Structure 1
Amino acid sequence: MKQLWEGFQCKVIVEENQTAKEMQESLVKFLTSDFHGSCDFCVVFIMSHGNSSKLHV
């Protein structure tokens, strides 16, 4: 996925092995940053193989 989007000349940010809380914090950090203000579009992929019983945000 990373190589595909980099091939489109997109900036790719990868966050790995995060808990549900860490994912939420990463999204809030992105939303409140100035980075995306100069972007034409944004794509967010959330990929997981985790256990849903551990999702306590």
Structure 2
Amino acid sequence: MFWKIVGALLLLWVAFMVLGSVIGFLVEAVFWVALIAGAAFLGTAAYGAIKGNRDKKQLRS
């Protein structure tokens, strides 16, 4: 009976370790994707602000 409890605790500990590493990897991957997307958005916005036409006509005045 003692070894069944020890085995169950060991199995539970390994499951938590694997689950934690998978969730940690996903959080880190989402962080880097968001960081790259934010940099691309800011670069595009800066390029549009610098390159934009100043003499655009309004649709309604």
**Bin of the TM-score, shorter chain as denominator length:** 0.3 to 0.5
Q: Which of structures 1 and 2 has the larger relative contact order (alpha carbons within 8 angstroms, sep 6+)?
A: 1
Give me the TM-score of the superposition, normalised by structure 1.
Answer: 0.32
Give me the TM-score of the superposition, normalised by structure 2.
Answer: 0.31
- Which structure is higher in helix share? 2
